[in-house]
Amino acid sequence: MVTIAIISKPFTFTNGSIVQASEHNSNFDTIYNDYNGNITNANIASGAAIADTKLAQITTSGKVSNVALTISGQLTGDILYYSGSAWTRLAVGTANQTLKVNSSGTNIAWSS
């Protein structure tokens, strides 16, 4: 695991002062290396506010907890199934109904 080095501020420069390479390069190298691919989950604060637009770009399977999934209008007894292109909510059926699969064997429905 790569860990990010601590960036320090050992010098404060003012207008017109001469900056020595040794006073600048160490932190510059740290910033450059971390910014270019070495930031890991361990380096991100647990309270970091990651924008939903960034989280919505996650496409890796298994990276989002089912707690984060929402489908509006759900009720106790509803069934969630994958229609082949999206997760779909099937509302709870009525007494004595059973689930059936359509003729193509892809989607489910309630049957009396």
Q: Find all residues with CB under 8 Å of 40, minimum gap 6, and list them.
A: 1, 2, 3, 4
Stretch 48-68: mean pLDDT:
76
SS3 of residue 43 by DSSP: helix
Q: pLDDT tens digits for 62-95? A: 777 666 666 777 888 899 888 888 788 899 999 9
Res 55 pLDDT > 60: yes
Burial of 84 (0-12, 13-18, 19+ CB in 10 A): exposed
H helices of 39-78, in order, are: 52-55
Q: How confident is the model at residue 57 (pLDDT cuts 50, 70, 90)?
A: confident
Given this model, what pLDDT does residue 96 score? 92
Given this model, what pLDDT does residue 68 score? 64
In this prediction the pTM is 0.41
